[in-house]
Amino acid sequence: MSRSGSSIDVIRPPEGSALLERLRGQTTARPTVDPGLAGGLRDWLEDGLAGVTDGLPVDAAPVRVTKEALTGVLMCEAHLMARRTSPRTVTVELARGSLVDALFRQWVTTGRLDDPWPDALGAVRADGDTDIIDFLEAMDAPNSRELAREVAEHAAGVVARWPVPSPTWLPRTQERLVVPLVGGRVVLSGVVDLAFGGPASERASVCVVEIKSGRRRVEHRGDLHFYALLETLRSGAPPFRIATYYTRTGELDVEPVTDDVLVGALQRVLAGTVRLCRLAAGTEPTRTPNGLCAWCAALPGCEPGQARAGTDVPRRVGDATTDDDFSLLAETDTGGGGGDDEQELEE
């Protein structure tokens, strides 16, 4: 948006060829790849993590570093641990995210979205996401109708604004990225909603897009930067662009991937991974009051959190969907969000 005098001119969300132009840019203007960059970043990470895993039990599972774990541990270690020990709570936002994600995936893959609600339900059932299915089946009729209406709005926006990517761009959805470090004791992982472009040779050639069904937040940039780093380490070349697309509004945030972006992501990964390793080794989590204290399961035993929240009774997740802080907790990311890279069973 831009201000002109007292009025606000809303820039229309990009659509059609304009949207693709912002994602693809000029092929000739894409940055050349420094073939030593990925190795240098990996060495930097290995050096930074040297000795950090020494405190872990010998038979400990790898410390998994996802975008959620990173954001969580850097915000408040105690809150992250409380979330990990609490049962997964499905909210309307989480369910909507899964449904919209499935529809976006369907659109990109097949170019057809005939009936969003049954299509989305069919997708989550085929995927076997029982938590989401159970939640949806337990919804009462009015709430279910409201969610179906919302999902249809998101789908209509996708259909209206997103051209179906050409198969020659090699689009792939829910691409898993896994980067082992420290001999596999630390594993960085994520799932990219949409990537397109073939493998890099002399020039960067991959664009990574994250899909969000919730509101726009500055924290989403950190997620994208993390994925840019993962893709660089995995493939040997950075993406040329990273983007977040908001299905509710059609907003598209696009960013070129520079060395500064990668170095910033690396430093954030190092800071978060050191903390995650300490927690995995049994160190008492530190408490850092923040906007999510009111929803923290550990609030009854956390004095700093109580001071921040003004109460010792945690709010129930889903109580206040309009609360800005809560939206970070509610996982409105439509993607798999990482950590979904268990060795899958394959026929």
Q: What does the binding site for other proteins look like in residue numbers (CB under 8 A)?
A: 33, 35-36, 38-39, 102-103, 105-106, 108-110, 112, 114-115, 118-128, 167-168, 170-180, 184, 187, 198-202, 233-237, 341-347
For other proteins, the closer CB: 200 or 328: 200
For other proteins, the closer CB: 235 or 306: 235
Nearest-approach distance from CB 167 to other proteins, in angstroms: 4
Contact 334, 211 (CB under 8 A): yes
For other proteins, the closer CB: 51 or 118: 118
Q: Which helix (H) or strand (E) segment is 66 a member of?
A: none
For other proteins, the closer CB: 56 or 328: 56
Q: Which two tokens stand for residue 32?
A: 């050349």
Nearest-approach distance from CB 69 to other proteins, in angstroms: 17
Question: For 154, how many CA atoms within 13 A lie in the half-sphere containing its CB?
Answer: 31
Distance of CA 45 to the CA centre of its chain: 21
For other proteins, the closer CB: 30 or 79: 30
Dihedral sign of CA atoms 270, 272, 278, 284 in order: positive
Helices (H), 54-140: 67-75, 77-85, 92-110, 116-127, 130-138
Nearest-approach distance from CB 310 to other proteins, in angstroms: 44
Question: For 166, how many CA atoms within 13 A lie in the half-sphere containing its CB?
Answer: 7
Nearest-approach distance from CB 225 to other proteins, in angstroms: 19
Burial class (CB in 10 A: 0-12, 13-18, 19+), 189: buried
Nearest-approach distance from CB 341 to other proteins, in angstroms: 5
